[in-house]
Structure 1
Amino acid sequence: MKSTSVYIKLWQKALRAEIMHLKKYGSTKYALKNGQLMSTTDGFTYYFESLIPLKIPVGSTIKIEFGKLNINGRILSSEGKSVILTLEKSLGSQLSDVYLLHDPWELLDQLHERLDEMKESKRKRTRVKRLMDPSNEAKHPISKIKSPVHELVLRSKYNPVTFVWGPPGTGKTYTLSRAAANKYNKGDSVLVLSQSNQAVDVLMMEITRFIHKKGLYREGDLVRFGSQSMLHTDSHLTTNELIQKRHPDLANQRTELYEERRLMKLILADSYSRRDSEQLLEIERKLTNVSEKIRQKEIELLRDANIIGTTLAKAASDPTIYEKEFDIVMIDEASMAYVPQIAFAASLGKRIIICGDFKQLPPIASAKHPLVDEWLRDDIFHKAGVVDWLEKNTNQSMHPHLFLLKDQRRMHPDISSFTNKYVYNSLVGDHESVKTARHEIVERKPFANSASILLDSSFTGEHSLSEKSSNSRYNVWHLLLSFQVIHESFISGSRSIGFVTPYRSQAILMETLLSEIYSLELGEADIISATVHKFQGSERDVMIFDTVDSYPQERPGMLLIGKDSERLINVAMTRTRGKFIHLADKHFIQSKVYRGKIIRQLVDHQSARKQEISPHQIGTWIKHQHPRVTWVHAKKIDLAKKDILQAKKSIIIGIPTGKELPVDWRTICDERKSTVTCSIVTNDSAPGVRCDRLVKRTVPFPFIIIDKKYLWLGMPYELSEHVKPPYVAVRVVSEKLVEFVLEQIVE
């Protein structure tokens, strides 16, 4: 056991290493377009639009990558797909291929400062010591325990540190919320923390609902604090709601300024002018003034609250939180937080409850440094020794301060059968209620009466590629199969649907496709696309897990086979209530992955239980063609021929290396209108093809793009490698997907 001062020094060194890495390299890059210089007063102020919505806090330090230039700056405004930023140097006026790099290293810097303050407080150091070296003796009375909630209440009353192991669906939100309500009823002050806004929202809502039900709720006693929260309640729980009720003039003034800013950004996006630019900057100045007044009202609200919910990052950056003393601190999703964050949280309260699942995703860090590996990539359950205790005891007995919630109530047993056995070593079981609770979801199509499905994409082509700027993998064939599953699920009555994938590029592609061609349906349903990391803490009736990896990749990525792959796949599966659809290339996985790896075990498990749908069954489960995503037999080329003959501007054909365009396709292309240009994309020559442009690129799969709007995959089928019958093609009407394919493969 190290001394607390040694721990703090090690944590600060790890944080500094991570901060330096993020400052130098960054890790999140956003493409910007339509840049306009707004002002040269106090730096160079620019307006940009982004391809995806940005959620970067105002005042954040960013870096702009422009050709060979790297310019520092900060965010003045970030809203939707537009951003205003001020830079140290000018970018000039010809703005193309501009990228914004942002990582919240300032938050780590603030945590570093809190650790400095911890050194000066004996009380805080004592709390950290108890966290890192929990006593082997628990002091709560065991004989009096009546229920899991009662046990947690007793543990947190008699012991300074309580670890709660909450596997998915075992009722951790239920248990934590009732323990928090118990403390509230006794007059204790409670700080509720988590790494994510979503987890804080869920827990605060459940606490509020329970206290309301008991008739004990008093407005202002419970406050959800944080500008990133999207929570809306009838209980005036958030600071925004309370200010709207108590200070409507201020709140309305801010709302009006937000609307003025939104409209002015639309005007700027349509046609830039210096006058409009200056007006937008004036609106920003007024917003700053109003926001400061609202900030003072927030401080008053937090001072009087008994239960405050916010994120770990917000707690470390806002003196209204970190200068306050709490009777008890509760941390949810603790396995995703850095150990120094947990230590900081422990210093704020007399007692602490740490809830999470060390079988789910660990913290994420970027720097390659041994101290970062030790303290920022491992969770508090491991570093405090509670996991080591479990692993060393052959009878799987728990650490004295580790409390396991052991009955899962979320997943259908056909889904949990894998995670219960392979991930939780049979320590977790199914509650009686879940065995009959999911029938309505399971009975729906696609794959009616099946809860766990392996949708096999073997021998459908070489579609797994890496995105240019981020190297994140994507798979357009998998994307469209997954979209079809979403569509079939929606038509069959499912309204709670999740698409989850290890890779950010694939998640963004699906989000883009859904917003472009499924917007009307999205208004009626809760359909979300996200990476596994962003999905932790969520759940859906139907989950599609797209592993993406396939040929021409040489092996699955480290996200699927690395040391944390068990945790990632566990999260992907356990978000599901009733129907888990696993889209994977079975042949690729079984050929490239050892039997001991969790992704291989999952594929083998589903195959052994006859839960797989093979590629030749595609005609049996696709029942509802979306108007803009059409599946056809690849030998039936009438629709593709019609598209080519009706083309107005351009035809682009991708031909893989070593292949030639078949004669019948050459004839069809030759019959195009004289005003239509034809481009061939290939790494070879294109003998016998009458084309206007030859683009030298390596193409892994054949495709046809018409008028930069229509994308055909799977045609001509004769050009495809790793493809077996039935030969399937798909036509997509999506300008944004076409733009992506052109950018990644053609340009």
Structure 2
Amino acid sequence: MKVINFIKEWQKALQNEILHLKKYGSNKFLVTNGRLLSTEGSYTYYFDTAFSIRIPIGSQVRLEWGSMKQSGRVLSSEGKGVMLAMEQSFGDLIHEAQLFHDPWELLEQLIERLDEMKKNKQKRIRVKRLMDPSMPAKHPIEKSKSNIHELVLRSKYNPVTFVWGPPGTGKTYTLARVAANKYFQEKKVLILSHSNQAVDVLIHEISAFIQKKGRFREGDVLRYGFNTGEQFADYEAVTTSQLLQKEDPQLAVEKELLLAERRNLKQDIAHSFSKRDTNHLLELETKIARVLEKIRQKELEFIKDAYIVGSTLAKAAGDAAIYEKEFDLVILDEASMAYVPQAAFAATLGKRVIICGDFKQLPPIASSRDPLVTLWLKEDIFHRAGVVDWVRDGMLHPHLFLLKEQRRMHPDISSFTNQYIYHSLVGDHESVLKNRKPIVDLSPFQGMASVLLDTSHSGVYGMTEKASNSRMNIWHVLLSFQLIHESYVAGARSIGYVTPYRAQANLMELLLADLYEKECSTADIISATVHRFQGSERDVMIFDTVDSEPQTRAGMLLTGKDSERLINVAITRTKGKFIHVSDQSFIRKHVYNGKTLRQLVEHQGRMQQTIGTKDIGKWIKNQHPRLQWMHARKLEKVFLDLGSAKRSIILCLPPQTDLSEQWKEQLQKRSQSVKLTVLAEESWEELQPNQIWSNSFPFPFILIDEQVLWLGLPLEAAKGVRPPYIAVRLHSERMCEYLIGQFQKREE
């Protein structure tokens, strides 16, 4: 295909994705307690959010409340609150609504860059070499002394080099030294990636290496765009904010003071909602915008002087300071998650390009089902340039450079991915067994690096979140929290929890914020979807597959076209201990033999890495003060809680429950002031409930005073349970509030 035809198809694909996002949206947030603050010019609303959401000021958004839909823009977004300017009034108060935001403006900027490619012959030649890398490899292979040296030679003699970097194979280490080599020759290098984190990590490694060599000059290495700055706190100035602090400290201080004032004011607004505060906040946003413009002028000077610049693809496509500049070498990291037109755009910015990533990890994400979107925005450049075809045929493309020795994972973890994902092309470095032993020796499961924590026959906890339709499993969340707690008590300070489903990741985030706020502030503990976690690593990783009865099929994320890549990412984030929380019987029943998840379960079974529910008493050694596990037949504690209830008892009873006389008696003798709500399909008049709501929960639970959750009780109401019978008591207002929100939505 001619380059001009590629470009036209890419533009059409991007336009189709934009149309889809404008119509349906994909990033959806629940916003609550909406208050009308002002009616001047437009209708200004302030909403609370359950989680922090970052949406750039001025972004177009859509709000949906019942059957009402309308567009608006973001006036302020920071912390757990967002202020919106809407075109029409929704009324004074909005109980809850859905907020949709999709950064389609970024795709429009990319379309503009593609227009520029059409008019520029040199850019089109660079695109042709990328899309059809059939030119002979010209680097002198006989001169190669090491991996780094070979990549330096390839990037010197060949216009395009593809680097295949499976997890833990030293991709960052290698790329950083290649970039530094070019810097020592006074060449200009551009570092790009789809994510801020990947740019931060690579720029950090480059600057650290150059400093170690004693050849660092301030301003030569620049991290351009958004970053936290924590990554670079102990190093010479490489971020625009650090350089600004040195060159114009007064401007830097002014910015920080304004941001602090905005944070404080938003906290006031969340409680008071006065018109004066609202106007003050809008004035502050204007002042902040003016200061940011002054900083912008300084940043342009920094870019002009830098030799190595690091930025995201989105920033580069929208900022003339990057896209109008010519570089000697462009390095695109994490290229497997970039759209093909983004990779092409990156290639046009430099005389040489290194495309680095792992096509066995997650592909780019796009929402539309349009064929052109599927072709160009849902698969990576390695596939579309034909590089993967060679690998499938058992060969490496002449312009593909494979890093084939992993140093991240303990061999008991990597044995699965090395064999099943990378077909024995990747091996373990000899040091990894010894280096990971201290993590392996920690509890829980002392001495085991890879564990399948099997939740079979512990109850039917599979469900979907009402608002998002995303899957969740409360039993798995509590079990996984216990694993985090056991790991933390044992001394682990680098712990990750990943799951395919956003609702489940959010649920764990909520639990950590409520029960583990102090521990999370002193340790590196994170909950995220697998997609969000690509590019990260932790000492201990918990992978929760969520799916369980009464669901009748496994989710597409675990069985669909890209499931191998998702599971690969989930496993390979781990250094020393990989704990796979999964319902083995559900997977064996609903997932085919050839699927990666089934292969993982079978592999862990063969390697005797399975821990069943019967072993729960052996590994739970540290009961958290607010989360306790106990035998479900011992009812003293739950009856004590029921007897101590002050305001309310909410009892969930799935269909065909036969409640024992003991339970009936306890519920009947509650205080007159305690309101009993029963979630059930039957009337349960003998319990004398104050309220009966229809129930769609498949499992029993009890909520007491909207503070205490009992799960797994009453036992006679539980389905799909085999001994040992386990109950869990959680003291968490936030979790109770969340559950109440779930059944109220179902009732509505």
TM-score normalised by structure 1 residue count: 0.98
Match of 1:626 in 2: 624
Code of the residue aligned with 2:262 in structure 1: it is R
**2 CA distance for matches of 1:270 and 1:743?**
22
- CA shift at 1:687, angstroms? 4.6
Contact 2:405/2:427 (CA < 8 Å) preserved in 1?
Answer: yes
Match of 1:541 among 535, 539, 551: 539
**2 CA distance for matches of 1:600 and 1:676?**
48
- CA shift at 1:472, angstroms? 0.6
Contact 1:38/1:278 (CA < 8 Å) preserved in 2?
Answer: no
Contact 2:654/2:695 (CA < 8 Å) preserved in 1?
Answer: no
- CA shift at 1:228, angstroms? 4.5
Match of 1:239 in 2: 240
- CA shift at 1:746, angstroms? 4.5
**2 CA distance for matches of 1:727 and 1:738?**
23
SS at 2:32's partner residue?
A: strand
- CA shift at 1:419, angstroms? 0.2
The answer to whether the aligner puts 1:603 opposite 2:601 as a matched pair is: yes
- CA shift at 1:9, angstroms? 0.5
The answer to whether the aligner puts 1:436 opposite 2:434 as a matched pair is: yes
Match of 1:359 in 2: 360
Contact 2:497/2:543 (CA < 8 Å) preserved in 1?
Answer: yes
- CA shift at 1:698, angstroms? 2.2
Alignment CA distance shift 1:227-1:58 (3 Å): farther
Contact 2:360/2:565 (CA < 8 Å) preserved in 1?
Answer: yes
Contact 1:709/1:738 (CA < 8 Å) preserved in 2?
Answer: yes
Task: Please show how residues 319-398 of structure 1 align to structure 2 within 5 Å.
Answer: 319-392=320-393, 396-398=394-396
Report the more deviating stretch, 690-699 or 252-261: 690-699
Residue deviations 1:66-118, cap 9 Å, x none? 22221111222211112222222222212122221011111111111110111
**1 CA distance for matches of 2:585 and 2:508?**
24
Residue deviations 1:266-289, cap 9 Å, x none? 111111211111111111111111
Contact 2:313/2:346 (CA < 8 Å) preserved in 1?
Answer: yes
Match of 1:470 in 2: 468
**1 CA distance for matches of 2:324 and 2:660?**
73
Contact 1:166/1:404 (CA < 8 Å) preserved in 2?
Answer: yes
Match of 1:737 in 2: 735
Match of 1:271 in 2: 272
Code of the residue aligned with 2:269 in structure 1: it is L
Code of the residue aligned with 1:158 in structure 2: it is Y
Contact 1:456/1:612 (CA < 8 Å) preserved in 2?
Answer: yes
Task: Please show how residues 708-727 of structure 1 align to structure 2 within 5 Å.
Answer: 708-727=706-725
Contact 2:33/2:96 (CA < 8 Å) preserved in 1?
Answer: no
Contact 2:32/2:96 (CA < 8 Å) preserved in 1?
Answer: yes
Contact 2:204/2:232 (CA < 8 Å) preserved in 1?
Answer: no
SS at 1:95's partner residue?
A: strand
Match of 2:122 in 1: 123
**1 CA distance for matches of 2:522 and 2:544?**
24
**2 CA distance for matches of 1:704 and 1:730?**
11
Show structure 2 runs of 5+ residues with no match.
none
Match of 1:615 in 2: 613
Residue deviations 1:143-194, cap 9 Å, x none? 0001100010000000000000000000000000000000111011111011
Contact 2:35/2:93 (CA < 8 Å) preserved in 1?
Answer: no
Code of the residue aligned with 1:139 in structure 2: it is K
- CA shift at 1:691, angstroms? 1.1
Task: Please show how residues 557-576 of structure 1 align to structure 2 within 5 Å.
Answer: 557-576=555-574
- CA shift at 1:660, angstroms? 3.1
- CA shift at 1:42, angstroms? 3.6
SS at 2:522's partner residue?
A: coil
Task: Please show how residues 485-500 of structure 1 align to structure 2 within 5 Å.
Answer: 485-500=483-498
Contact 1:660/1:687 (CA < 8 Å) preserved in 2?
Answer: no
**1 CA distance for matches of 2:726 and 2:400?**
53
The answer to whether the aligner puts 1:295 opposite 2:293 as a matched pair is: no
**2 CA distance for matches of 1:564 and 1:286?**
46
**2 CA distance for matches of 1:662 and 1:116?**
73
Contact 2:196/2:227 (CA < 8 Å) preserved in 1?
Answer: yes
Match of 2:665 in 1: 667
Code of the residue aligned with 2:445 in structure 1: it is F
Equivalences, count? 743
- CA shift at 1:512, angstroms? 1.0
SS at 2:686's partner residue?
A: coil
Match of 1:318 in 2: 319
Code of the residue aligned with 2:26 in structure 1: it is S
Match of 2:454 in 1: 456
Match of 1:22 in 2: 21
Code of the residue aligned with 1:599 in structure 2: it is L
Code of the residue aligned with 1:682 in structure 2: it is A
- CA shift at 1:39, angstroms? 3.2
Match of 1:182 in 2: 181
Contact 1:52/1:81 (CA < 8 Å) preserved in 2?
Answer: yes
**2 CA distance for matches of 1:408 and 1:42?**
59
Match of 1:11 in 2: 10
**2 CA distance for matches of 1:520 and 1:526?**
11
Match of 2:443 in 1: 445
**2 CA distance for matches of 1:87 and 1:298?**
33
Contact 2:75/2:282 (CA < 8 Å) preserved in 1?
Answer: no
Match of 1:401 in 2: 399
Report the more deviating stretch, 348-357 or 38-47: 38-47
TM-score normalised by structure 2 residue count: 0.98
SS at 2:561's partner residue?
A: coil
SS at 1:298's partner residue?
A: helix
Contact 1:59/1:76 (CA < 8 Å) preserved in 2?
Answer: yes
Code of the residue aligned with 2:298 in structure 1: it is K
**2 CA distance for matches of 1:263 and 1:164?**
47
SS at 1:688's partner residue?
A: helix
RMSD: 1.1
**2 CA distance for matches of 1:447 and 1:685?**
46
Query: How much identity, in percent, do the aligned residues show?
Result: 58
SS at 1:255's partner residue?
A: helix
Code of the residue aligned with 2:305 in structure 1: it is D
Match of 2:61 in 1: 62
**2 CA distance for matches of 1:428 and 1:155?**
21
**1 CA distance for matches of 2:279 and 2:532?**
38
Contact 1:703/1:716 (CA < 8 Å) preserved in 2?
Answer: yes
Code of the residue aligned with 1:199 in structure 2: it is A
Show structure 1 runs of 5+ residues with no match.
none
**1 CA distance for matches of 2:6 and 2:427?**
37
Contact 1:544/1:581 (CA < 8 Å) preserved in 2?
Answer: yes
Contact 1:35/1:49 (CA < 8 Å) preserved in 2?
Answer: yes
The answer to whether the aligner puts 1:580 opposite 2:578 as a matched pair is: yes
Contact 2:34/2:96 (CA < 8 Å) preserved in 1?
Answer: no
Match of 2:308 in 1: 307
SS at 1:523's partner residue?
A: helix
